Chains A and B, each alone.
Chain A
Amino acid sequence: MRILFLITAFVFVSTCVPVFAAEETFIVETTVADADTTPPTAPSNLTATPISTSRIDLAWDASADDVSIAGYRVFRDAVAIATTTATSYADTGLTASTTYSYYLDAFDPTGNTSSSSVAVATTTRAETVTNTGGGGGGGNVFYLDSLEIVPNEYGVRIQYVTRSSLRGVVRWGQSAAYELGASSEETFSRTHETVLTGLLPGTRYLFSLEGVTPSGGGQVIIESSFTTNTLDDTTPPTNPRAFSGTASGTDVVLSWLNPNDSDFASVRIIRSDRFYPLDTADGWLVYEGSGTSFHDVDVLAGGTQYYAIFAYDIHGNISSGAVTAVSPEGAPSVSETPPDEEGAPYSVGPLEFSFADLIFSQDGERRFVSDDNTLVVDGGKPVTVQLPYNLAPEALKAAVFQARMQNEDGDDTLFLLRADEDKEFYTATIGPFTEAGITSAFVVMYDFLNSQVGYVRGLIDSRFVTSDGETGEVAVDAPWFTTIPIVLRLSIFVCIVVMLVIVTYSRRKASVVQM
Chain B
Amino acid sequence: MRLEFIYSSIIAGILTGTSLCSLSSVAAQVMQSASYQIQSDSINVGGGLSSSSNFELESTAGELATGESSSSNYELKAGYQQMQEVFLALTGATAVSLSPTLPGVTGGTANGSTTVTVITDSPSGYQLTIKAEGSPAMQKGADTIADYTPSGDPDFTFTTGATDSHFGYSPEGVDVVQRFLDNGTDTCNTGSAETAGACWDGLTTSAVAIASNTDANHPLGATTTVTFRVGIGGSVLQPPGTYTATTTLTALPL
A interface with B by C-beta (< 8 Å): 1-2, 4-36, 67, 108-111, 270, 272-274, 280-285, 394-395, 397, 447-449
Contacts and interface: CB of A to CB of B under 8 A. Distances in A.
11 contacts: A1-B9, A6-B13, A9-B17, A13-B20, A18-B86, A19-B88, A23-B90, A23-B250, A31-B98, A36-B105, A281-B109
Q: Which of A4, A14, A28 has the most chain B CB atoms inside 10 A of its CB?
A: A28
A449 B96 contact: no
A5 B13 contact: yes
Given A27-B96, A281-B232, 19 more contacts: A5-B9, A9-B16, A11-B13, A18-B77, A19-B85, A19-B87, A22-B88, A23-B90, A23-B251, A26-B95, A28-B95, A28-B228, A30-B102, A30-B242, A31-B98, A32-B239, A36-B104, A274-B111, A281-B234
A35 B246 contact: no
B109 to A, nearest CB: 6
A33 B245 contact: no
Nearest to A286: B103
A448 B247 contact: no
A35 B238 CA distance: 8
Contact of A10 (B74, B98, B244): B74
Given A29-B96, A33-B240, A283-B108, A24 B248 contact: yes
B18 interface: yes
A110 B237 contact: yes
B114 A280 contact: no
Contact of B249 (A6, A10, A23): A23
Contacts of A13: 17, 20-21, 74, 76
A212 B45 CA distance: 127
B56 interface: no
A7 B237 CA distance: 60
Contacts of A110: 104-105, 237
Interface stretch (B33-41, B46-54, B57-65, B191-199): B191-199
A287 B12 CA distance: 68
B112 A28 contact: yes
Contacts of B92: 24
Contacts of A270: 108
B106 interface: yes
A498 B97 CA distance: 87
The 7 A-B pairs at the shortest CB distance, nearest first, are namely A12-B17, A8-B13, A24-B93, A22-B90, A30-B98, A18-B85, A35-B104
A399 to B, nearest CB: 15
A109 B96 contact: no
A225 B87 CA distance: 88
B250 A21 contact: yes
Contacts of B107: 281
Nearest to A35: B104
A18 B75 contact: yes
A11 B76 CA distance: 12
Given A67-B106, A109-B235, A282-B109, A15 B21 contact: yes
A30 B237 contact: no
B231 interface: yes
A317 B231 CA distance: 22
Contacts of A31: 98, 101-102, 110, 241-243
B240 A25 contact: no
Contact of B87 (A9, A16, A36): A16
B28 interface: no
Given A8-B10, A21-B88, A109-B235, A14 B105 contact: no
Nearest to B169: A28
A25 B230 CA distance: 19
B30 interface: no
Contacts of A109: 105-106, 234-235, 237
Contact of B20 (A9, A30, A67, A284): A9
Contacts of A29: 95-98, 242-245
A1 B107 CA distance: 66
A21 B96 CA distance: 23
A12 B244 contact: no
A27 B243 CA distance: 10
Contact of B138 (A1, A9, A30, A35): A30
Contacts of A283: 100, 108-109
B243 A282 contact: no
